[in-house]
Structures are given as C-alpha cells and as structure tokens.
Amino acid sequence: MTALAPALEKTPLETYVAPDKPSLVGMTRAELSDKLGEIGVPERERKMRVQQLWHWLHFRGVTDFDRMTSVSKDLRGKLAQAFTLDRPEVVAEQISSDGTRKWLLRLPSGLRGERPHEVECVYIPETDRGTLCVSSQVGCTLNCSFCHTGTQRLVRNLPAAEIVGQIVGARDRLGDWPDMERARGPGLPTEGERFVSNIVMMGMGEPLYNFEAVRDGLHVASDGEGISISKRRITLSTSGVVPNIHRAGAEIGTMLAISLHAVRDDLRDELVPLNRKYPIAELLDACRNYPGVSNARRITFEYVMLKGVNDSLAEAKELVRLLKGIPAKINLIPFNPWPGSRYECSDWEQIEKFSEVVFNAGYASPVRTPRGRDILAACGQLKSETEKLSARERMALRAMAMTD
Ligand code: SAH
Ligand code: SF4
C-alpha cells in the first residue's frame, strides 16, 4: 500500500465573521458606501460622505468619530452607534535595540467562544525607509517543509480591512499620522516624512490564495488620498501560485517576490510542495510575463539557505542561469530553525561563497546582516500562541532585512 501524499493545499477551518459592531478601519470605498447605506445615508450623498470618511480614517488615522469635524454631528452619532474605529488589538510589543519592533495583534475569531486569532506584524526602520511586514492569513494554505507556518492549520483568510488594520495599527504605535506626536526610540528616524514607507506581504500566509482581500487591502494602502504607500514600495511575496501571478500584476500592480528556494523540480517539490502543481519552468514563465516587469521594476527571488540541501556552488550557478533574461534581484535568506524543523542553516562561509557567485553574475548585495536579533532571542518569552509564530516571525525579519 502506498502512503497518501500530504495534501497540497489546506482548506480554512473558519470564515471571517464581522463583529456585531464592525470597525470601519481599513474598509474599501465600496464597503464604506455599503455601510453608509445600512444606516440610511441616501445614495446621492454617499460618494461625498465616503470621501470625508476616507480622509479621517486613512489620512488622519482618527480613533474617535467626534474628531471627524467635517462630518455632521448627526451622522457622527449614527456612525458611532453602528460602527467602531477599532484596530487590531496589540497584545504584546517587543522593541529591539536597533529599532525593529514586533507586535502581536489580536483579531476576532469567527467561532463564538473560540480564542481570538493572533498574527504578528514587524516593523524595521532603516536610514532611508521603514518596512512593515504584513500577514494575509491566520496560518497558511500551503505546507512548505522549512516553514513553521506551513506546519500549522489554516485558520482563516484575513479580509481586506484586517490587512489594512495591521498598517493602521503600526502607524498608531509609531505616531505615524499627521496630527500625532512621532514615537521616539532607538533606531527610529527623527526626521523624514513617514515611519512606515514600505510594505512587504511576507508575514503569515500565502497572499495569492487570499487574492481579492489582498488586492483590495493593497489598493486601500496605496490610495494617494489615504495611507498613500506607493505600489512600488509594496512587495507581494508568493510561493508560486502561477495562475494568480499575472492577475496580481494586472489587478494589484505591486512589486513581486518569488520564494524559489531550489533550482531543480525534484528538490523544489519537497521544499515548496506547490511546485508539484506549478513547476519551476511554468513559474519562471509567469515571471517573464509579469505585467510591468522591467530593469527598473525587478522581481525578487528569495532563496533560503539550507545546509547541504540547496547551497552548493553548482546550484548558485544554476540559479543565475535560470534567471537569465528575467529582470531579477536575488535575496539569500539564512534559514531560521524552529523546534522540530528538519533543516539547518548553511554555514556563513558557504552563504558567502554562494553569494559571491550570485554577486559576480551582476546581482547587487544578495545577502545582508539580519536585523532585530535581540528581540528574536526573546521570542520564546511570549506565550504559547505566539511561540507558534516566532520562527515564522524571525524569518520575516530576516527576509525583510534583505529587501532593498
Ligand atoms: N507565503 C508567502 C509569503 C510569506 S513567507 C511565500 O511563501 O512567499 C515569506 C518568505 O519567508 C518566503 O520566501 C518563505 O519561503 C520564507 N521562509 C519561510 N520559513 C522560513 C524559515 N524558517 N527561514 C527562512 N525563511 C523562511
Ligand atoms: Fe505558506 Fe509561505 Fe510558509 Fe510556504 S513559506 S508555508 S507559502 S507562509
């Protein structure tokens, strides 16, 4: 009898159920318009009202309906009765000496009486930018063998508002709204326009298996009259959901990162089992045809360094050969072990040699020193739910530290 291969994709255990009094934070214009309809705002007024709300919600980041001074008192009252301005609740915060901040965020559970869900969100300040790592799912649809999130069940997809809620929540913590006092602290820039200037969809989950919510959420995040983070400063990372890659370029239009991790199908089948459905050649074809790809808008290829598994110099050369003709950047990610993981991180010497081959082929700084090491070490201090995410989060930090 042959053993059944593990399922390629998981089905969610829950769907999102909005709280009785939903929050307007992070909603799209269309959703806001519907909500206004629900409280009796006539159709002809809705566009103008949405415009007003948009400004207060996503440009100013207000937390109180009474501060929406351009909205009539009567409507403010009705809004407050039916809705909230809640953000995902921050249940834990860790701040590294280099300024990296990690928040554990609580989201409502769809099942009454079940524990609320938690996702982590990480902020990395650098001299010329501040990058926020955002999650798209609680758990993940897929099961990559080196990823801790992959070993967990998929709890549910995040709706667009919760994807944006992570950005709004981070801006609150940092004082990153026009009328707020900016946070101060180690590593945080004292000047400059915004703390959160870049977004990477590299938290928990596979963004292209929550396509509509990620698309809508990123449109809210990049809207020039609101949060206003340009699409060129947003990177969506995928394990290779080929049918949605073209769609992502056409309908979302952000920068793209591909979790490649292997140069041969037999090995990639093992590391990223989705490869059995969409093998390397198809994945690279989709990259060649990614709308808008050019030397100025390169695709990032992520390659996790696994000792004795994918880190030979022959593989480095093959990586360079495979990517020929695709406007690409390469990020070598040191593997972050987690309890029970069957891999080890490549030796630093080997990472350097591998990186040299890639560098000599014309790819700039394929590997950089990871950030936020001190708070990573403290990950295990958080409670059980969090521990499940800590390896995942460590990965996110490193991946982000290398995004240029
Ligand atoms: N699901 C998406 C985005 C989230 S994962 C994707 O897979 O692309 C973000 C990046 O972290 C991916 O490149 C992923 O392969 C990598 N990663 C996952 N676990 C890791 C680990 N333990 N060490 C290093 N990188 C890891
Ligand atoms: Fe999911 Fe990405 Fe982890 Fe794979 S690497 S299991 S796609 S989060």
DSSP of 146-179: T-TGGGS---EEPPHHHHHHHHHHHHHHHT-STT
59 and 171 fall within a common domain? no
Lowest average pLDDT, out of 197-211, 246-260, 275-289, 389-403, goes to 389-403
Mean pLDDT of the chain: 87
Q: Calculate how far, in angstroms, residue 88's C-alpha sits from the geometric centre of ligand 2.
A: 23
pLDDT at 113: 67
Task: State the residue range of the domain holding 67.
Answer: 29-82
Of 41, 62, 82, which residue sits at a domain end? 82
Query: Is 3 within the bounds of a domain?
Result: no
pLDDT at 394: 46
pLDDT for 53-95, tens place per residue? 999 999 999 999 999 999 999 999 999 999 999 999 898 998 8
Query: Is 228 within the bounds of a domain?
Result: yes
188 and 263 fall within a common domain? yes
Q: Calculate how far, in angstroms, residue 154's C-alpha sits from the geometric centre of ligand 2.
A: 11
pLDDT at 301: 97
The single-letter code of the amino acid at 300 is: T
* Atom 4 in ligand 1: residue holding the nearest Cα: 202
98 and 74 fall within a common domain? no
pLDDT confidence band for 179 (50 / 70 / 90)? confident
Alpha-carbon gap, residue 392 to 333, rounded angstroms: 13
Q: Which two tokens stand for residue 303?
A: 């390659």
pLDDT confidence band for 116 (50 / 70 / 90)? confident
pLDDT at 16: 78
52 and 173 fall within a common domain? no
Query: Is 266 within the bounds of a domain?
Result: yes
Known catalytic residue: 270?
no
Q: Calculate how far, in angstroms, residue 17's C-alpha sits from the geometric centre of ligand 2.
A: 24
119 and 217 fall within a common domain? yes
pLDDT for 186-230, tens place per residue? 778 766 678 999 999 998 899 999 999 999 999 999 999 999 999
* Atom 6 in ligand 2: residue holding the nearest Cα: 150
pLDDT at 370: 57
Alpha-carbon gap, residue 390 to 374, rounded angstroms: 13
pLDDT at 149: 83
Query: Is 17 within the bounds of a domain?
Result: no
CATH number of the domain residue 303 falls in = 3.20.20.70
Q: Which two tokens stand for residue 286?
A: 């989709």
- Given 31, 120, 162, 393, the catalytic residue: 120
Of 82, 105, 120, which residue sits at a domain end? 82
Q: Which two tokens stand for residue 70?
A: 């351009």
Q: Do residues 144 and 269 lie in contact, with contact meaning Cβ atoms separated by under 8 Å?
A: no
Of 82, 97, 121, which residue sits at a domain end? 82
Dihedral pair phi/psi, residue 223, rounded to 5°: -60, 125
Q: Which ligand is nearest to the CA of 201?
A: 1
Alpha-carbon gap, residue 313 to 311, rounded angstroms: 7
Cα distances (angstroms) measured from residue 279 to each of 37, 267, 286: 47, 11, 11
- Give the residues across from 334 on adjacent strands: 305
pLDDT at 377 over 60: no
54 and 138 fall within a common domain? no
* Atom 8 in ligand 1: residue holding the nearest Cα: 238
User: Ligand 1: residues within 6 Å at CB?
Assistant: 144, 146-147, 202, 205-206, 237-239, 259, 302, 304, 333, 335-336, 391, 395, 399
67 and 117 fall within a common domain? no
pLDDT for 303-332, tens place per residue? 999 999 999 999 999 999 999 999 999 999
Domain count for the chain: 2
Alpha-carbon gap, residue 6 to 337, rounded angstroms: 22
* CA nearest neighbour of 117 among 88, 95, 143, 92: 88
* Atom 7 in ligand 1: residue holding the nearest Cα: 239
Known catalytic residue: 379?
yes
Q: Calculate how far, in angstroms, residue 243's C-alpha sits from the geometric centre of ligand 1.
A: 20
372 and 349 fall within a common domain? yes
298 and 169 fall within a common domain? yes
126 and 154 fall within a common domain? yes
65 and 181 fall within a common domain? no
pLDDT for 140-176, tens place per residue? 989 999 998 888 888 889 999 999 999 999 999 999 9
Query: Is 345 within the bounds of a domain?
Result: yes
Q: Calculate how far, in angstroms, residue 206's C-alpha sits from the geometric centre of ligand 2.
A: 6
* Atom 4 in ligand 2: residue holding the nearest Cα: 144
pTM: 0.90
Query: Is 5 within the bounds of a domain?
Result: no
User: Ligand 2: residues within 6 Å at CB?
Assistant: 140, 142-144, 147, 149-150, 205-206, 239, 259
100 and 203 fall within a common domain? yes
pLDDT at 369: 56
Query: Is 24 within the bounds of a domain?
Result: no
**E-only strand ranges, 52-158:** 89-95, 101-107, 117-125, 130-133, 137-138, 156-157
CATH number of the domain residue 77 falls in = 1.10.150
- Given 133, 140, 147, 379, the catalytic residue: 379
Q: Which two tokens stand for residue 239?
A: 């394990």
pLDDT at 265 over 70: yes
